[in-house]
Amino acid sequence: MAAQTPVIQDIFRQYGPKYLQKFGAKIPAIHKKALWAIINCRSKNLGGEIWFCGKCKEYHYSYHSCQNRHCVVCQNDDATDWIAKCKGNLLPLTYFLATFTIPEPLRKLCRQNQKLFYNILFKASTDALKTLAKDEKYLGAEMGFIGILHSWTRAMMYHPHVHYLIPGGGISNDGNRVRFSHDDFLMHVKPLSIIFKAKFRDLLKQQEPDIFNKIQPATWKGPWVVHIKAVGDGAKALEYMGRYLFRVAISNNRIIKVEEGKVTFRYVDYKSGKSKIVNLDALEFIRRFLTHVLPHNFMKVRYYGFLAAASRKKLARLKKLLFADELNTVETPARQADVKILLCPLCGNQLTWIRSLPVGAEHDP
């Protein structure tokens, strides 16, 4: 029953105590919590259960997982459920993927004040999208969209940005008809970038003037990166976004080796498409990983406009205007209650639960 310890968990178990010893006084509590969870996941420190195989007469032991959303061991299958649910709500429209990025001069402050900056990033970018969408020169309608925060590059560098999946259509400003975008154009990114930057600046100045005053004035003069591209019916873009929703900054299969205090991993460069190798000190590897731990109870995925939970009537109205009887409105089947069925790794026979193991207990039936 016991599986081989994941490589990333090995790194945390081997070098985590040294990381805490060196940086403990400076580590945010949420980082310490994630570090502890990853180190102790599926260990006796979390307790577990004993199972028995009636066929081969063997006992098997299963320790509990930590259920921390940043734990590589606990990367769960919820992405599949989320993607299936969202696909069930796709509309017969062209979809667009929009990306808003916090510029490099602000990233240090962002890293130090993540909850503040992430919330402003969501607010400023969604307000910018809504403002241009209602403009009759563009869509002239209320849009709906899904946003997901993403904070890392493939090399685990800090690069906070948010992706939005946007159907190219919405309910007209008068509420009586559907307005459609072009198949390859939603709105111009230059005015969108200007509005995004201005709203971000004003929100930060209003909410945290002391932090705002630390920012160089030139930061507000240069262009801010905003990108929009058409993505067809939205299905593939949903899968792309779903992978980030339930994924940590790096997976085990990208780790090449861990030796002499160094971690070597590979990644595919976004621009060149070529595989590259990174060799990091183990403590720097842990630091980069923990940089992407989200603030406590922070909502990484958010829904806006007619896709918001409070706007179901608007979504129903839009579907009706889009001839909902012609849509594929098959609902995603309700997820069945989880029933824990384990099979014997030796013979494949269904195991019988014996009893729970208390926290700290060793393997002993």
Same domain? 228 vs 212: yes
pTM, whole model, 2 decimals?
0.84
The CA distances from residue 205 to 200, 286, 304, 312, in Å, are: 9, 33, 24, 34
The candidate with the shortest Cα–Cα distance to 199, out of 129, 98, 111, 106, is 129
Report if residue 365 sits inside a domain: no
- Number of neighbours of residue 56 by Cβ within 10 angstroms: 13
Same domain? 171 vs 131: yes
What is residue 242's predicted lDDT score, i.e. its pLDDT?
A: 81
Same domain? 145 vs 230: yes
CA dist., res. 197 & res. 224, Å (int): 7
Same domain? 106 vs 243: yes
Per-residue pLDDT tens over the stretch 300-320: 999 999 999 888 888 888 888
Report if residue 23 sits inside a domain: yes
Same domain? 301 vs 201: yes
pLDDT bracket for residue 77 (50, 70, 90):
low
Same domain? 66 vs 114: no
What is residue 76's predicted lDDT score, i.e. its pLDDT?
A: 56
Segment 345-364 mean pLDDT: 78
Average pLDDT over the chain, rounded to whole?
Answer: 87
Residue 291 is encoded by which pair of tokens? 């940089």
The whole domain housing 204 covers 78-249+292-326
The distance from CA 34 to its chain's CA centroid, rounded to whole angstroms, is 16
Report if residue 227 sits inside a domain: yes
Secondary structure (3-state) at 54: coil
**Count of domains in the chain?**
2
Secondary structure (3-state) at 163: strand
Same domain? 18 vs 106: no
What is residue 51's predicted lDDT score, i.e. its pLDDT?
A: 86
> What are the b/e assignments for 2-41, b being 16+ CB within 10 Å?
eeeebbbbebbeebbeebbeeeeeebeebbebbbbbbbbb
Report if residue 321 sits inside a domain: yes
Same domain? 25 vs 102: no
Report if residue 45 sits inside a domain: yes
Same domain? 125 vs 232: yes
Same domain? 52 vs 201: no
Per-residue pLDDT tens over the stretch 289-303: 999 999 999 999 999
